[in-house]
Each structure stands twice: as structure tokens, then as C-alpha cells.
Amino acid sequence: MVQPNSGDNQFELFDKQLGWIPFLDAYLREATEYKLRYHGTQMDVRFQGIPVPFFQKEGKGYSTFMTPFQSGSVKVCLNGQEFDTFVYPDDRKLTEGQFNLMLEEILSEANSCFQLSGLTTHVNASGRNRDITWTQWSYLDQSFHQLKHIFSKIEKQPLRRLDKYTMMMKREKVQQSEHVTLRWMDLQGHGDEIPSTVQNVKTLETRNLYENQVLKQQLQDLYRLLRKYEMIEHEEVAGKALKYKGIVQRWLNSSFMNEVTANEGPYTITQKFRKHPVYRLWYQWFDQLYKHNREGIGFDYPISLKDTFQLYEMWCFMKVVRILREADFVSDTAGLYKLTKDGIFLNLAENKESKIQLRGGVSLYYQRAYQFNSPNFHTYTQKMIPDIVLEGENGLIVFDPKYRVPDNLGTALGEMHKYRDGILMRDTGERAAQEVYILTPTTDEVSEGMRYFHHDYHDHYGMGAIRVMPGDEDEYLSSKIVGSVKLLSR
């Protein structure tokens, strides 16, 4: 790395244990927010090519910065000088594999619940014929920069071969005698007399290979797919789709692509796609893109990787839905879905109060809002929106997913008292929340060592924490959910 005049010694990060330290000396963890500062009046800081905004205070620049969810090597540019640093995995948080598992399980359960929704609009819930889904857009949006990098490598060094073409040319341009020229002269009866124009073979380089033809076909398909995303009723998605479509159009108009004839119909994976280090990545990118078609129920808004906490909340809710469905408590799931001209979407968002009707007069809510004028259960202070609520005539039971609290669980449980004590029954004025629990991903070692996770603690206080981790069995959560419905159904 180049050190002189780079500004790296003036660029600092705040470490909770060490205080302000040089940025390049910091141990960065994924999906973590950090405070940054630099000394001076101006500094250009770019993380993976994205500028980091600062505000000035007392001759110094300050900013907050969040590392990406993925761990790995990253590039930081300080005043034009480029440095390599590393973002390390955070064992307190979910892995990328668990992130993808949550996506799959959310939409899988959404498809399973669709048959209970009572919706009469014809929709292909299997998703095999749907080419616009939230998971597909999420993958496309997050990995398009990877596709740009792969295409730039292919464009610089595409597959090519030398082909021989038979053509007529002037005899003075023939650089060497070819058998085809001699044979042509014999067939024409020229003998020893060489005409001014003769038949010869010319070797030309071509890039119109099968793999490049498939590449062009895939770009054309991607262009048409982006046009569909451009037309949906979501301003942010449509804007990004327009931007990506313009980039794909430039690729199709490049001199490289103009030499290639697009493949038509189905295509197969060749040895070059299997073994070439760059073409293999290209084929895998498109293979992964269309695998998302199996998920037929989409979301009507995007979630970025940095918002893993939001996805974790949705996943916990859909996990509760699956437990109730398998226990045969669910009677109607229409509140989960939203119909638009673009299709059917899972309608989970803050203040939407997505509702599932259960047997025994109990309802399950996502992001249920309670305030001073709520009819059956109200608050006497501020508006409260617990993430997951089981609501019956005689009270509530609250489950609140907390993605980032394993190190601060006591404080998070203290906040749960606002649900426990601040939501009242309208008729009697008594506390409405009978039990409140935090759902959090954490290791077995942490959960076993903290009293908040112990079952006797839950039984005694009616509150605590429950470990809920993607990929793990949750027998205790299942028993707690089923028992809560029975308690509220009395």
C-alpha cells in the first residue's frame, strides 16, 4: 500500500475499547455501525467506490458508517489512494447462508398459507411461470455490480478462434500459396498462366462462438426482465431497473456484442462454461437469477442486506405462522397478502397490521399498533407497535424479535415492560399483556449462561428471552406458541 500523502493517518475510527485509532488499523466486523472522523477541512473517502458523507465540526469531519453484511476483502479510497482492508464475520450475527435461508422459509410459508387465504383471483402460487419476484429482484439488485465486473473481464478477453474463409483476391495480395489456390487454378484450366484474381484462403479471428452467443441471448433476456421491473408500482425498484437496463443496453451495443449473433431457444452448459474461470461465473450468475422464479409470492418493497433485523422480524413472524398452521389453529390468512396489477405480494410492513385469524377467537398480528384511542386494548402514554402479537378477548401475548441484543439483553427486556405495563384493557383498565418474550438469534453457550432464557424464569415472571436461530429446531418455541393460543382461547 502507498503511504505518503494518502491521508490515512488523519482518518480515524472510534473503537469502544481503544478510542480513536487509524482507520486501517481497525478490526472491522460485518453489519456494524462505526463513527469516523478526519483532521482537516476536506477528505474524499470512498468505501467500495461509494462516497462517505461527512459533516464539519471544529475543524474536523465526522460521519457514521455501516459495514456491509458480507465479510471479506474490501477497498477503501482515501484522497485518491486505494487501500485494501478486511471486514470480518461477526459471530453474534447471522451468516449470509442463514440470511438466504430466512428468505426461502418466509416465501415458502407464504406459498403454503396462500391456499388458506380465501383469495379468488387466479394466481400461479407455485411461481414457476412468474418472472418477477421479490427474491429475484433482491438478488439482481445486490449482485448487479458483480455482473458488471464479470462482463468487463469478458469484454477485455472474450473467447475467440481463428476461422479460414475461402475468397477471391488479387494475386499480388496472396502471401503464400495454398493448396486450394493451386487446385482452383487446375480446375479453371489456367495452367502456368496466373490470372489477376485467384481463389485463396484467408484466416480471420472471430468472437462469434457459441458461448458468446449464449451470453448475448442472456443479456437480451435480462434487458426484457428489467423492462418488467421498470413498469411496476414501486418508484425505487423502477428507478434502479431503468438504470440497470441502460447499462445492459450499452453492453448489447458494444463492438464485442455487435460481432456476435444471439443464440435462440434453449442453451446448454458447455465445457468452456464449466471450466473457464470467468465464463463459469457468468453462467452461475444467470443460473442463480432464474432459480428465484420458484418463489411465487413476492414482497411489495425491498429489504437491503444491512436491514437484516427487519428480515429477522418477518422470518420470526412467518415461523410463528407455520407453527400455528401445522397445529391446525389457522382459519384465514387473507390478511397476509396484497393484490396489485403486478401480482400477489406478501403484505408485511410497519403499521399494516397484517392479521391471521385463528380458531377460538384469537388473532395473530404483525406490527400491531396500540394507542390511546384503540378500541379493545389501549395505551395511556405513547403509541406502541410490538412486532408479533397473539390477541384474544381476555388479553395479549407479545413476541418481539430482537436481532442485535445478545450483548445487551437486560436492557432490551427492560424495554419490554412498556408492553407489559403500558397496554391496558379498555373495559377493566387491567394490564392486557399476560406474557412478553424477546426472540433473538444467539449461541447455545450464551443462552444457557443467562437466566432470561431459562424456562423456570419464564414460568415465574411471564417474560424472558427465547433463542430462535435459522436452521435450528424450535421445540420450545412451538410449545410456547401453542400454549399461548390455548391460554387466550379460554
Contact 23, 76 (CB under 8 A): yes
Alpha-carbon distances of 216 from 132, 251, 293, rounded to whole Å: 21, 9, 21
Q: Could you tell me if residue 301 is inside a domain?
A: no
Distant-in-sequence, close-in-space partners of 479: CB < 8 Å, separation ≥ 6: none
Q: Can you state the angle between helices 475-488 and 308-326, rounded to 10 degrees? A: 70
Number of helices and strands (H, E) in the chain? 13, 24
Residue 308 C-alpha from the chain's centroid = 9
Distant-in-sequence, close-in-space partners of 330: CB < 8 Å, separation ≥ 6: 113, 116, 321, 324, 356, 357, 358, 359
Q: Could you tell me if residue 52 is inside a domain?
A: yes
| Secondary-structure percent of the chain, ordered helix, strand, coil, rounded to 5 | 40, 25, 35
Distant-in-sequence, close-in-space partners of 314: CB < 8 Å, separation ≥ 6: 102, 106, 348, 366
Q: Could you tell me if residue 120 is inside a domain?
A: no
Does one domain contain both 383 and 278?
no
End residue of a domain, out of 295, 321, 351: 295
Does one domain contain both 277 and 397?
no
End residue of a domain, out of 233, 267, 295: 295
Contact 11, 78 (CB under 8 A): yes
Q: Which CATH number do you get for residue 18?
A: 2.60.40
Q: Could you tell me if residue 109 is inside a domain?
A: no
On whether the pTM is more than 0.85, the answer is: no
Does one domain contain both 151 and 165?
no
For cell 444457557, name the residue: 448
Residues 388 and 318: their CA atoms lie apart, in Å, by: 10
pLDDT at 173: 67
End residue of a domain, out of 270, 295, 320: 295
Distant-in-sequence, close-in-space partners of 370: CB < 8 Å, separation ≥ 6: 377, 378, 379, 383, 384, 385, 386, 423
User: Between the CA atoms of 332, 333, 335 and 341, what dihedral angle is there, to the nearest 10 degrees?
Assistant: -120
Contact 201, 178 (CB under 8 A): yes
Q: Could you tell me if residue 300 is inside a domain?
A: no
Residues 247 and 433: their CA atoms lie apart, in Å, by: 53
Determine the 3-state secondary structure of 226 from DSSP. Answer: helix
Q: Could you tell me if residue 73 is inside a domain?
A: yes
Residues 39 and 246: their CA atoms lie apart, in Å, by: 40
Residue 470 C-alpha from the chain's centroid = 16
Residues 270 and 260: their CA atoms lie apart, in Å, by: 18
Q: How is residue 394 written as a grid cell? A: 381476555
Query: How many folded domains does the chain comprise?
Result: 4
Does one domain contain both 227 and 200?
no
Q: Tell me the mean pLDDT per 10 residues along the chain, length 490.
A: 46 87 85 85 82 86 81 80 78 64 72 52 34 69 88 91 70 62 65 68 79 94 91 82 94 93 86 88 85 48 52 84 88 64 48 77 89 90 90 92 70 86 91 92 76 90 89 86 87
Vertex 202: Cα angle to 198 and 206 (nearest 5): 150
| Closest C-alpha among 93, 88, 72, 75 to residue 1 | 75
The residue segments making up the domain with residue 63 are: 8-88
| Total residues belonging to the chain | 490
Does one domain contain both 241 and 332?
no
Distant-in-sequence, close-in-space partners of 196: CB < 8 Å, separation ≥ 6: 170, 171
Q: Can you state the angle between helices 96-114 and 308-326, rounded to 10 degrees? A: 40
Does one domain contain both 66 and 46?
yes
Residues 331 and 341: their CA atoms lie apart, in Å, by: 27
Does one domain contain both 185 and 235?
no
Does one domain contain both 249 and 328?
no
Residues 68 and 52: their CA atoms lie apart, in Å, by: 13
Q: Which CATH number do you get for residue 379?
A: 3.40.1350
Does one domain contain both 223 and 268?
yes
Residues 440 and 469: their CA atoms lie apart, in Å, by: 7
Does one domain contain both 183 and 273?
no
Does one domain contain both 482 and 393?
yes
Q: Could you tell me if residue 302 is inside a domain?
A: no
Q: Could you tell me if residue 101 is inside a domain?
A: no
Does one domain contain both 47 and 135?
no
